Amino acid sequence: MAFAPKEDLQGRLVDSSLAGFQVAMDVSCHSFVRIAKLAEPLMSEGGTLFTMTYLGATRAIQNYNLMGPVKAALEAVTRYLALELGPQIRVHAISPGPLKTRAASGLADFDQLMAKAAARAPAGQLATIDDVGRYVAFLASDAGRMLTGDTLFVDGGYHIAD
């Protein structure tokens, strides 16, 4: 889940309003902390929490603007939740490459970003929503029992290429 007011999302970071930044941080980051708090008592026998992030958390991506710092905070929250909730609950930030989603449709020049990412990815294509779902299912299974607290990329290698 992510959100920022359109004028703050599409404008420069330095021009973002305090209110827009706070809304983006609350909806896109702190909501995950609240979900973890509510889920913890329900996961007394273990479980896995997931959030979605993007490469713009660690690299400056053209037109990602306000969401870069917000996603960076979300990735830090993931690490701290993993530390606090482990070993009972695993916590993962999943970072697919660009995916056509409602949230992404608000980014300026998103179609160009997708084409550039597909051309740059060593796999020669972008991951699909189904690819992300399969990876999440793996992480939630016993096969992923020793993984927690990381940002995990499902992007055909897009994150390693320049």
Q: How is residue 98 written in tokens?
A: 């660009």
Question: At 28, is the secondary structure helix, strand, or coil?
Answer: helix
Give the three-class secondary structure for 126: coil
Determine which one of 64, 80, 135, 158 is catalytic: 64
How big is the CA angle at 143 (ends 137 and 147), to the nearest 5 degrees? 90
Q: Is 80 a catalytic residue?
A: no
Concerning whether 158 is annotated as a catalytic residue, the answer is no
How far out from the chain centre does Cα 12 lie?
A: 21
- Alpha-carbon distance of 42 to 76, in angstroms, equals 23
Assigned token pair, 134: 């399969």
Q: Is the peptide bond before 87 cis (omega within 30 degrees of 0)?
A: yes
**Residues assigned a catalytic role:** 54, 64
